[in-house]
Structure 1
Amino acid sequence: MKNFTNVCLILITMLSASSLFAQTKITGIIMDGEFNESLAGANVFVKGTQVGTTTDLDGKFELTTTETSGTLVVSFLGFETKSVSFNAATKSIDLGSIQLNPDANQLTEVVLVGKGIIDLAADRKTPIAVSTIKAAEIQAKIGTADVTQLLVNTPSVYVAGQSGGYGDSRITVRGFQQDNTAFLLNGQPINGMEDGKMYWSNWSGMADIANVIQIQRGLGSSKLAISSVGGTVNFVTKATDKKEGGFTSFGVANNQYFKSTAGYNTGIMENGFGASVMLSHWQGDGYNDGTEGQGQNYFISFGYKANEKHSFNFLLTGAPQYHDQNFTKAISTYLEYGRRYNNNWGTLNGVYRTERRNFYHKPVANLNWDYEINDKTSLSTVLYASWGRGGGTGGYGRSVRTSTGNIDFDAIYANNQTAPGGIGNFSNTPRNYVVRSSMNNHAWYGMVTNLKKELSDNLSLNLGIDLRTYNGDHYRQVSSYLGLNGWNESRNLRDNTDLPTSTVASNTVNEGFSTNPWSSFFNTAADNQKIDYNYSETISYGGLFGQLEYAKDNFSAFFQGSLSNQSHQRFDYYDYLPEFSDSKKVSNIGYNVKGGTSYVVAEQHSFYANAGLYSRQPYHDNIYLNFTNALNPLTSNEDVLGFEAGYGFKSRYFSANLNLYRTSWKNRVTSTSGVLTAATTIGTTDLNTGDLVYTSSQNDEQLHSGVELDFVFRPLESLDIKGFASVGNWQYKGNAVQRKFDENQNLLEQTNTDIDGGKVGDAAQTTLGLGVKYKIVKNFSIDADWRNYDNLYANVAANKENIELPSYDLVDAGISYRMLVGENNKNSIDFRINMNNVFNEVYLSEITQSFSSGNVNGIFPANDTDPSYKGINVKNSAFFGLGRTWNVSIKYNF
């Protein structure tokens, strides 16, 4: 009996142990619910346990758990997290296909390289005002537009300048222009070092290579000491793709536009290497007269995963292009000749010629190294370089125009034929004319490195270094002599006082240089073939940055800080005696500090508040006066103070974000200098001929405040509704103060102009938008976006009564269809049709010169007989927006 009892106890123990350690195998495949593609690298884990795995290259997963029932949590960056219940009736469960829905506010794919360098909102738990455009939307909607057009369906964003030609658009964020918005490419700053501006023609291939575009309005999440006053725009490019495959695409559009693109990925091979390559070509006549363009784009990426700790990626991309340009003109001119009128071109012997062509080639190279030191510490480093070559053409000398205002190249050629010896100059009668190219060549090298350390379960630290050096060369060369054999000019050289001396330099040039961007990259002019000016600058930058973030349960808080030193030196080889060609070196310290906190209530409601202070160094072009070596003694750092707060709501069907902001910009100074040509009195001081006078202009304050709303509503699986609204109040405060000083910095005169309440121009202060996407059947959808722009003012200097432009509405629409082909439907063909400005709205997109004829706010009363267009004086220089445009594309994925 005792033995029987012992046997029973043993059997019971064995059965209990067998039950306790029973294993359940769970398998399935994770799919993109929008395009029915497998998702490699998705995270799958059993809720409440440490059991988890990631999907393979085909989106498949397999995990083993002792749980017989429970919940799987599936997540993938750029998609909504999904919970899936399981109940193990057997030892093996196949959950089949699990569809994840895209998250409109997150990224489309995992960033494969530079994860610690690329500043993305997802990397920080404390929220900011952010909008994200995914790769699928970029490819679908870009058409023939600049990459800036992809941001128009986000709050507080305005895009202008598109009528200038391919690549000539400008973007403002919360009313701040491009020199006050930071633009990053894979973590590297790409704003111009001299003036902070962006030239989108240099980045014409960005839409082809962008994996994601994220715009962080206001303070943003960037850790660098950069000029993110209005916001930060992150362009994250493709890297070496994990999966083998490729594509080829073709597109056509209005005005003879054509584009072809092809790409191929080897995938990450067994030896850890992989490569991705893409090439494209585009060309078109342009929407407005005389704005044709042509360009290419290349993208080469090599990846190597050495082991679990080290991965590397080398990227080389460039977009050589040329495009002919259109400038703003009086509204009356457009009314006379048509809204597509452009007078920057003409014909020579019946063949089209342009006076204004932009051409540029700017290769960019990145080397990324990601080092997973341990499970708590990682290091990300990027070494980058870019080499820009190119410029813009224009007339140099006496122009002759036809009766319609276009360039009369035949008359110019005939006049040049009369020049003595075939050598043109400004002294011949009549004056001669050549087409010059204003060159802007540069070499830019930099490094950004970031160490991330998990100090505890709740506390993380980022520390980094940002180093850059930039050398720019600026000069003019002749691109076309138009019948001349050469060009001669003379000038008086300057000394260390920055004033012209009696020494005269003269040179004659006789070489012409192509405006082909490929040719200009490899063929630069010698010093003796340069005209008008020839100078360079070296700008060096060194910065330290850090971020500390605490996150526990529903609460998070962060603090960021950076300190930087920026040095400048100018070298003038044309207008100075050789021994005085080098300017004095100038260095300035700048900093920024940012902090914020957030709290989540019931998983659906989140609140945040952030604040930041910037002390920004002056740009190079404001340190040296009038493009000479003369130092501007009046420059100082600009002060920016920002506050923002927000609320977010998220549910299964509806999500929304509400943001409030207030940004103050003070101590903005612009200065010029001049030599008196006659004796005069300024204030109470008598001055003599040759005396140097500095003029400083400063606005007391520029204050931008507003509210922003964006939302996504999915009432049905087949219907997405998105919307946004932003209402801003962007004003000048106080006075515009102009001060004149002598060369000993004695104040001669001060003039105050009341600008309090004057409206900041160049962007609509009120914007509304609504977008709808409906899936008619699987893989077939239609979409449409409506936008309204109001409270848009002229882009002119600060004044009390700025001109307000008429409000306008735009509607864009598109159709998408994906056809699955090939064995097991592994390949696909994508069709896309876009139509922008569907209803052909006629509107003024910007005004650059302000004539109000004494009428309040530029609006004409009923008894005023002066000509007007929609209440705007027709003498104002303006751009009309583009009318109806269309594009069609087809893409084969394999």
Structure 2
Amino acid sequence: MITALAVLLLPILVQAQFTISGTVSEKSNATLPGATIKLKSKPAGTTADKQGKYELTNLKEGNYTLLVSYLGFQTIERNITVNSDQTINFVLTQSALLADEVIVNATRANEKSATTYKNISKADIEQNNFGQDLPFILNNTPGVVVTSDAGAGVGYTGIRIRGSDASRINITINGIPYNDSESQGTFWVNMPDFASSVDNVQIQRGVGTSTNGAGAFGGSLNIQTLSSSENPYAEINNTYGSYNTLKNTIKVGTGLIDGKWSFDGRLSRIKSDGFIDRAASNLKSYFLSGAYHGKTDILRVNIFSGTEETYQAWNGVPEARLKGDIEALKEHYTNNLGYLYNTKADSLNLFNSDNRKYNQFLYKDQNDNYKQNHYQALYAKQFNEQFSFNGALHLTQGQGYFEEYKNDQKLKKYGLPAVVVGGTTIEKTDLVRRRWLDNNFYGLTYAFNYQPESNLNFTLGGAYNQYRGKHFGEIIWAQYASTSTNDYHYYDGKGDKDDLNSYFKVNYNPVSQLSLFADMQYRNVKYDITGTDKNRKGLDFHNNYNFFNPKVGATYFLNDLSNFYTSFSVANKEPNRDDFTNLKEGLAVPKPERLNNIEAGYRFKNTDFNVGVNAYGMFYKDQLIFTGEINEYSDAYRQNVDKSYRIGLELDASYIISSQFAINANAAFSRNKIKNYIDYVSEYDSDFNLINVQATNYANPDISFSPNSVIFGELVYKPIAGFAIALQSKYVSKQYMDNTQNESRKLDAYWVNNARLGYDFSLKGIKNINIGLLANNILNKKYESNGYTYSSIYPWGTTTENFYFPQAGTNFLLSLNLKF
């Protein structure tokens, strides 16, 4: 934390003295406006103007490597020594390969987009990839908070950006939506070790630019999978560490065959016992990609799949167990007897388990099982220097269930008649049930890009996607089976969703220093929910939404090193499936949410120093939030609140002190409020029958799970070639678990320190050997990164139950990676 604050307060001292300038053209002497000129391993860079001219200023004396690139041309890499002002002209040769990056360009932000974003490169991903889910690899970016049900980053994990959960973060893979269509969340456990097949990620905070899929209410993650290598390669990546965490990955690629064809593949498995008791994961995945490269087009087919078997740890640890308060634990046990605790084994588990590792579930097959297959056909075509196209066809197939043991269940709850045994009528039974999800998601995406002039660019894009989901339940064993059979479904529900969107983007530079940006999106969502839900309640919802999402912005370039930007964006978002299925009878059907987002910032970068400062305001209309009330089946539901907001300041900086030392840091400070909030608490009689709901008004409380401060700092030390040590600190301020801003229902602030070591070297026959060590939570901080709370009123008083998800103490992951 101290490191982070130190670097953010560093003055911008421009100590450089020299300038490199020149032009970028092709062999016909035609200039290449927009060509990129960068210094390798440095943040500094610029683009050629409409005459193909560029200028890099304020360079210190020394040796540099210049990288010059332009879409459709071969990149030039040139070593230079700077001890005076220099003029260097570059002539690029047209490439036989169209760059894979054109596939995602339409939905990506750039320095002219007037939006807030951060790019994470393949190198950044590789050095942090020890087998944990992608959210943990992105944990060190501004305003991000991550959590893990199992406590160590493998299995079910979650990510929040600016306090917004995964259902409000738009995820695309090669421009194709990944969010689940009904929950709108993202389940990274279904894509184990996917980071090993990722080339780069762009995180856009706030609404960002128009993209495909779910509305971005907190941010978006735009993921590009690996592009082709020119040369054949093979990699073996292995990790072993705490909690018997094991990762094995094999990657192979053919390189270019006859200058046109390439094939790449990955096979992975990850196993972990988890920090929490019985929170084990057994994860398998593969990734296959084949591509045809023409001079002006590229066709790529990706097939990837993930299979997960994860023991459930999603109920958390009761507060009394976490604190080791035996008297409070006895009270908790009594209050939940017959609900959470039914057997002697349940009570022994509760009272004798480790305070931080407790898991309520004891049934040996209390697992979540799911398989997801992805098929993508991606095509891009550069018709000429002004006009290009990219599009995709896709299909995602998902099928799986979670299995659970349930005590003393009423047969009529499952649509089954009572059983008569020996003249005794039996109305309840112990049983094992599975709740299934079987779905298909398919569609197309497209984008046309037209650049008639170097200072004017148009993009027309969009997508049409369909989701068809089946929800059903099975009883696979019962002590008293009644009339149930193996193929009996005690509920059957459907979710059908059609999602159409089209966007039109314009970038215009009226003068060289000013870039104007406009982005208009229309989105239509048709969502039907029918059948019965898990409680056998009838479902019949038919919704049709039409959204208009405009975005405008401007960027003013002070010089090649710095610019100001500002933007205004609108996003709309439909309710989730649970907002309908959990709806209490008599309440209004939830309305869609609306967000008005204002962003303004400043960016500066030279060869050694890179800083971005951003202020934002996110103003919500009809935001859906949990009210504290539950329905007759104990399901929580959300209702619209009229007005709420998030305002904040974000800083992101890096400073190369010398060839041996570098500092990276970021911070996010925010205020997150609901203007008027009504909290509902259910009141029961002594027989636990619902008799009333008490409402309490709160003025201007904090939005739940929205820390006011998130700060990160990293010190990198490279004492010798190939060896690096990174010390990392992250601070997350307190978070409230509901919207009452009650100090007794919060996650305490935490400050966690990690260390990462990496050593690269080569031996005969092996291109590169990397030995890595990730030491997490080196000061053994005891903290919880997620939780939930609910309250009830009884004749004997009000009871509040808090549950937490403890994260692992000091733990290690050791990796050995070989590249051939």
Q: TM-score, normalised by structure 1?
A: 0.71
**Where has structure 1 moved over 6 Å in runs of 4 or more?**
30-35, 43-52, 77-83, 419-422, 573-577, 749-752
Matches within 5 A, 1:159-558: 159-163=146-150, 166-224=154-212, 226-270=214-258, 272-305=260-293, 307-326=294-313, 327-336=315-324, 337-346=353-362, 353-354=363-364, 356-398=366-408, 428=426, 431-479=428-476, 481=477, 484=479, 487-488=481-482, 507-509=483-485, 511=486, 528-531=487-490, 533-551=491-509, 552-558=511-517
SS of 2:674 mapped into structure 1: strand
Conserved? CA contact 2:104–2:174, under 8 Å: no
Q: 1:303 to 1:719 in 2, by over 3 A?
A: same
Q: 1:624 to 1:291 in 2, by over 3 A?
A: closer
Q: Which moved more, 1:378-387 or 1:252-261?
A: 252-261
Conserved? CA contact 2:758–2:773, under 8 Å: yes
Q: Which residue of 2 aligns with 1:655?
A: 610
Conserved? CA contact 1:634–1:671, under 8 Å: no
Q: CA-to-partner distance for each residue in 1:647-679, whole Å, 9 max, x for gaps?
A: 11112221100000010111135799x9x99xx
Q: 1:258 to 1:843 in 2, by over 3 A?
A: same
Matches within 5 A, 1:23-172: 74-75=67-68, 84=80, 112=100, 114-116=102-104, 119-122=107-110, 125-163=112-150, 166-172=154-160
Unaligned runs of 5+ in 2: 1-28, 30-36, 55-63, 91-96, 325-352, 410-418, 682-691
**Aligned equivalents of 2:278, 2:196: Cα separation in 1:** 26
Larger gyration radius, structure 1 or structure 2: 1
TM superposition shift of 1:573: 6.7
**Aligned equivalents of 1:194, 1:620: Cα separation in 2:** 5
Q: Which residue of 2 aligns with 1:891?
A: 817
Q: 1:280 to 1:161 in 2, by over 3 A?
A: closer
SS of 2:453 mapped into structure 1: coil
Q: CA-to-partner distance for each residue in 1:335-370, whole Å, 9 max, x for gaps?
A: 443234333443xxxxxx535311111111111000
SS of 1:255 mapped into structure 2: helix
Q: 1:595 to 1:805 in 2, by over 3 A?
A: same
SS of 2:598 mapped into structure 1: strand
TM superposition shift of 1:217: 0.8
Q: 1:605 to 1:357 in 2, by over 3 A?
A: same
Matches within 5 A, 1:688-703: 697-703=639-645
TM superposition shift of 1:153: 1.2
Letter in 2 for 1:834: L
**Aligned equivalents of 1:582, 1:607: Cα separation in 2:** 51
Paired residue for 1:766, among 700, 709, 715?
A: 709
Conserved? CA contact 1:129–1:659, under 8 Å: yes
**Aligned equivalents of 1:446, 1:317: Cα separation in 2:** 17
TM superposition shift of 1:762: 1.9
Q: 1:852 to 1:764 in 2, by over 3 A?
A: farther
TM superposition shift of 1:840: 0.6
Conserved? CA contact 1:794–1:805, under 8 Å: yes
Q: 1:366 to 1:46 in 2, by over 3 A?
A: closer
Letter in 2 for 1:454: Q
Matches within 5 A, 1:530-679: 530-531=489-490, 533-551=491-509, 552-572=511-531, 583=540, 585-623=542-580, 626=583, 634-669=589-624
Letter in 1 for 2:296: K
Conserved? CA contact 1:114–1:186, under 8 Å: no
TM superposition shift of 1:598: 0.7
Q: Which residue of 2 aligns with 1:869?
A: none
SS of 1:362 mapped into structure 2: strand
Paired residue for 1:719, among 657, 661, 664?
A: 661
Conserved? CA contact 1:699–1:737, under 8 Å: no
Q: 1:851 to 1:553 in 2, by over 3 A?
A: same
Paired residue total: 702
TM superposition shift of 1:32: 10
SS of 2:124 mapped into structure 1: helix
Conserved? CA contact 1:210–1:236, under 8 Å: yes
Conserved? CA contact 1:44–1:73, under 8 Å: no
Q: 1:354 to 1:34 in 2, by over 3 A?
A: farther
**Aligned equivalents of 2:453, 2:623: Cα separation in 1:** 43
Task: Name the structure, 1 or 2, with higher relative contact order (CA <8 Å, separation 6+).
Answer: 2
Q: Which residue of 1 aligns with 2:4?
A: none
TM superposition shift of 1:371: 0.9
Q: Which residue of 1 aligns with 2:59?
A: none
**Aligned equivalents of 1:601, 1:216: Cα separation in 2:** 23
Letter in 1 for 2:215: S
Q: Which residue of 2 aligns with 1:839?
A: 779
Q: Which residue of 2 aligns with 1:812?
A: 754
Letter in 2 for 1:157: V
Q: RMSD across aligned C-alpha pairs, in angstroms?
A: 4.2
**Are 1:783 and 2:781 counterparts?**
no
Identity %: 18
TM superposition shift of 1:160: 2.4
Q: 1:717 to 1:76 in 2, by over 3 A?
A: farther
TM superposition shift of 1:110: 9.8
SS of 1:876 mapped into structure 2: strand
Conserved? CA contact 2:193–2:270, under 8 Å: no
Letter in 1 for 2:707: A
**Aligned equivalents of 1:821, 1:341: Cα separation in 2:** 43
TM superposition shift of 1:801: 6.7
Q: Which moved more, 1:367-376 or 1:552-561?
A: 552-561
Q: TM-score, normalised by structure 2?
A: 0.77
